[in-house]
Structure 1
Amino acid sequence: MKLSLAIVALALTVPTVAFAQDSTAVVSNGQYPNTFSSGSANVSPFTNKSKRFNDWAISFGAGVPLVQSADLTSIKSGNGKNLFGYSAYVSIDKAITHAFGLNLQYDRGETRQGWFNTKDSAPSDASAYQRVAARTQYDAISLLGDINFSNLFRRVDNHSPYRWALHGYAGIGTLAYRAYQKDDKGQRLATEIKPFQLGSMFAQAGAGVKFKVNRRIDIEGRVMYAVTGDDEFDGGGDKYSTINQREEQVSDNFFNATLGVSLKLGKHESHLMWHDPLQEIYYKLDVLANKNQDIEVCKKGDLDNDGVCDDWDRQLDTPAGARVDGAGVALDTDLDGVIDLYDKCVTVPGPVENQGCPTTAPTPVGPVDEKETKLDGIEFDLNSDRILPSNTPILNNAVNYINSSNGTYTVVGATDTRASDAYNQKLSERRANNVKDYLIKNGVQSGKLNAVGRGEKDLKYPECDPATKCPEWKNRANRRVYFEAK
């Protein structure tokens, strides 16, 4: 029975250890954190070769089992003496994530319980008073889940590495044992359970504290609690025997305190169970923060001083003062072949010989009435006389219209009712003059325009007096410039 379980455990160990020698495609430079930088390409295939951490280990250890919940126990509590057994284990450990893994574990040991040690002579009245001794030799194979609580519950703001880790274990397996009972009549086999049978299933759970000695070795102290599910494990004999009727529980359970060593396999610098993803993020942020990278802009300079680097300038000889687009090409708004710098009629196409203006004046469409000569909607921001980019299409249309007519026009500036009358009057004048200057710069003859400011005396929405709280859209409509034909 013992030999068969040991052979099964060995057969499972050999291929696992061979597979655990994982890829060396990624090797760190040995600096802390020694596994947080990769030597692989920026984009790696999702294969076993792209692994950055060792994730296999072999653990082994020894300890002391104590039967705690049974009819015959190891802890006497003043009745007799405490009896200590021995145990040993070996396991193959696979880390699935930085906080969870699976362990295939083989346990072997012997518990000692009852009124005296089976190595000692039995009292002469042992059978009369059922003061018997017992020992149980057991072998077990179990699959345990391993939770790394230190990694799972680590604080987000903890930037330091750590060498201690709290682990929790739980799992099920198969338990085989031989229970012996001794009294004054001698020692005999009380119960024998073979492995891999329905009645041999058991469960165990516990916790351990690991200490990282180096990149290869961990030391762990562990306490496990095994639930056998069997009332005969303690050596009390048949479940209906007098000894097994002392206590009501139907499962003989025991503690197993062990001290062990884990040997981490693989050729990487770190094991996955000791890796903290948050630590890696902090490290990379520190590297980026401390990295000095000089970025050289405009290597070839800007020979024409148009504000566009020669590296991507499509017109390297732009005349001084000309407005350019993002590619460094001088603007030609009306596409007549004369750039705006030299075009006297920026928005009206004309030949080069006439400086971009038409050679003949367009025929007026007809009489201009008041409705056609007013252009509403040229609005301004609060306390500002800057022409908004959204208003330039309206003003360009005004250039075309004024140039096509024979009349003269007044550019009227207005404000809302906020601020004083004197301030609003000056602000309205600045708005009107800015619009006038824009029209002249874009081809309108200065003699056709006059600019006046009316402050808050000419409201589009008169109900917005200083005592009335108007919605912002009405105040914005009052902040405007419009045209009147003379």
Structure 2
Amino acid sequence: MKLNLASVALALVLPTAIFAQDSMAVATEMAPTTFSSGSSNVSPFTQDSKRFNDWAISFGGGVPLMQSADLTSIKNGNGKNLFGYSAYISIDKAITHAFGLNLQYDRGETRQGFYNTKDAIPTTGNPYQQIGARTQYDAISLLGDLNFSNLLRRVDNKSNFRWALHGYAGIGTLAYRAYQKTPAGQVLMTEIKPFQFNSLFGQAGAGLKYKVSRRIDLETRLMYVVTTDDQFDGGGAPTSAVNQREEGTSDNFFNATVGLSLKLGKHESHLMWHDPLQEIYYKLDVLAAKNQDIEVCKKGDADNDGVCDDWDRQLDTPAGARVDGAGVALDTDLDGVIDLYDKCVVVPGPVENQGCPVAGTGVVTDPQRALEGIEFDLNSDRVLSSNTPILNSAASYINSSNTSYSVIGGTDTRASDSYNQNLSERRANNVKSYLVKNGADAAKLDAIGRGEKDLKYPECDPATKCPEWKNRANRRVYFEAK
């Protein structure tokens, strides 16, 4: 009896739709913060708020070997060592960092018995060994993908990792055509169409993935396929002489493959390669540093600006000046005159004119001017909302200036030189794109990445454990006049 094709397809896709990360939403209830009784940084979970890629396409090929059958691909009394071929392609969806679902299509041919059916029949004279068979098969299955490496990762592992052990198991529908060759000739013994009740099969196994790049994984798998069918090997009807050799009710085979996974999406990393402990350790380090600062802060706040001297980057802030989290007096228009003394807070002007433009000349330009204060989160090239006032003022300043500027991207000293160079280039390009999008003349700007070569705090070399505020200050974008 055949099942309706649409019904089976719906049954295979439905679990993915139910558990898909895109369709889930987080609660929007407010959580308390330091500054208010509610939180403004809790937002609905949408496609735009996703931090990781969670889709991939995998494909590969390999060798199937009949292991449990009346005719086998292994030299064990029911056959010789014969190698077939197989190929697969799958659409993979990560549900969490440790579990996903794969919709997979397999195609291949097993070869079993005592000789390859494409070769001549052996002249041994032993009728028992004059039987060969091959089976061409197509299969569609839904596999659960368990990432054991993420699930069982050691709690003291603080290093980036490139290897992951995966386990797979699932069921599907199997269609095949089994041929048998004897001295009487080669005949089609059994044909099973897809989506029939007797075409149900299961497979399970393990795979080892290697992260070649953020877009490509290399994987080798060993799967064990349970056909649930005693005629898959080409032995014929259950009552035939060949099918009476073994008492098993299922012809099963191993399938060893090598393949690639192409990770899809715009984000830097894939959910299946995300280690939650990495973020936990980083947050614990930051919290530990803050706890230490809180104790040291008992020594005082010399300039009384509300920022403890231990992380105050401007210890002589004038009384009454507004400061940022690092204790630096705010200069909204970046003209060198802090807001406390600036008569034109949002329009840049010379110091001698109290921060206002000189009448009739527009905004005074300074070719040596360095626009500071554009910082980034760890391992991120996203322009923060706290940077937008500075960047909007920078766009106006650049347009009013007669000078061209280089947008310079920098990083802290963590990670490798090549990774930091790439990250600094992305930061510089993102800032340049933001400025151009908000009215800055693109012809006056170019983007340059310097990685960790031009640190604001050069004492923070890889061998030195710097406080987090110095690392954050090194993760910046600044401007240089040409």
User: What TM-score, normalized by structure 1, do the two folds share?
Assistant: 0.52
Q: Residue by residue, what CA displacement relative to the aligned partner does 1:106-163 show, whole Å, maximum 9, x if unpaired?
A: 0000000001110101135779446310000000000000000001011222211211
Percentage of identical aligned residues:
76
Q: Residue by residue, what CA displacement relative to the aligned partner does 1:330-379 show, whole Å, maximum 9, x if unpaired?
A: xxxxxxxxxxxxxxxxxxxxxxxxxxxxxxxxxxxxxxxxxxxxxxxxxx
Whole-angstrom distance in 1 between the partners of 2:76 and 2:67: 11
* Cross-structure match for 2:340: none
How do residues 188-267 of structure 1 correspond to structure 2 at under 5 angstroms?
Answer: 188-267=187-266
Distance 1:126 1:216, change over 3 A: farther
Distance 1:297 1:141, change over 3 A: farther
* Cross-structure match for 2:138: 139
* Cross-structure match for 1:270: 269
Runs in 1 of length 4+ with deviation above 6 angstroms? 291-295
How do residues 435-454 of structure 1 correspond to structure 2 at under 5 angstroms?
Answer: none
Is the contact between residue 126 and residue 183 of structure 1 (CA under 8 Å) also seen in structure 2?
no
Is the contact between residue 114 and residue 134 of structure 1 (CA under 8 Å) also seen in structure 2?
yes
Q: Residue by residue, what CA displacement relative to the aligned partner does 1:214-253 show, whole Å, maximum 9, x if unpaired?
A: 1000001100000000000000011111100100000000
* Cross-structure match for 2:382: none
Structure 1 segments unaligned to the other structure (5+ residues): 23-40, 302-309, 312-486
Structure 2 segments unaligned to the other structure (5+ residues): 23-39, 307-318, 321-482
Is the contact between residue 80 and residue 113 of structure 2 (CA under 8 Å) also seen in structure 1?
no
* Aligned AA (1:64): V
The SS at the match of 1:49 is: coil
* Aligned AA (1:121): A
Distance 1:148 1:126, change over 3 A: farther
The SS at the match of 1:61 is: strand
Whole-angstrom distance in 1 between the partners of 2:225 and 2:125: 29
Whole-angstrom distance in 2 between the partners of 1:102 and 1:129: 44
Whole-angstrom distance in 2 between the partners of 1:74 and 1:99: 35
Q: Which has the larger radius of gyration?
A: 1
The SS at the match of 1:282 is: helix
* Aligned AA (2:46): T
Is the contact between residue 166 and residue 208 of structure 2 (CA under 8 Å) also seen in structure 1?
yes
How do residues 265-304 of structure 1 correspond to structure 2 at under 5 angstroms?
Answer: 265-289=264-288, 296=301, 299=304
Is the contact between residue 58 and residue 92 of structure 1 (CA under 8 Å) also seen in structure 2?
yes
Whole-angstrom distance in 1 between the partners of 2:192 and 2:126: 25
Distance 1:193 1:116, change over 3 A: same
Confirm or deny that 1:57 pairs with 2:69: no
* Aligned AA (1:233): F
Whole-angstrom distance in 1 between the partners of 2:163 and 2:185: 49
* Cross-structure match for 1:97: 96
* Cross-structure match for 1:388: none
The SS at the match of 2:198 is: helix
What is the root-mean-square deviation in Å for CA atoms of aligned residues? 3.3
Is the contact between residue 123 and residue 183 of structure 1 (CA under 8 Å) also seen in structure 2?
no
Confirm or deny that 1:164 pairs with 2:163: yes
* Aligned AA (1:299): N
Whole-angstrom distance in 1 between the partners of 2:211 and 2:204: 22
Confirm or deny that 1:122 pairs with 2:127: no
Whole-angstrom distance in 2 between the partners of 1:66 and 1:270: 36
Is the contact between residue 71 and residue 79 of structure 2 (CA under 8 Å) also seen in structure 1?
no
* Cross-structure match for 1:113: 112
Distance 1:219 1:233, change over 3 A: same
Distance 1:186 1:229, change over 3 A: same
* Cross-structure match for 1:185: 184
Shift of 1:183: 1.0
Is the contact between residue 124 and residue 184 of structure 1 (CA under 8 Å) also seen in structure 2?
no
Distance 1:120 1:85, change over 3 A: same
Whole-angstrom distance in 2 between the partners of 1:145 and 1:300: 56
Q: Residue by residue, what CA displacement relative to the aligned partner does 1:248-291 show, whole Å, maximum 9, x if unpaired?
A: 00000000000010000001000000111111111223345567
Shift of 1:188: 0.9
* Cross-structure match for 2:339: none
Whole-angstrom distance in 2 between the partners of 1:48 and 1:297: 47
Distance 1:188 1:79, change over 3 A: closer
The SS at the match of 2:222 is: strand
Shift of 1:299: 3.4
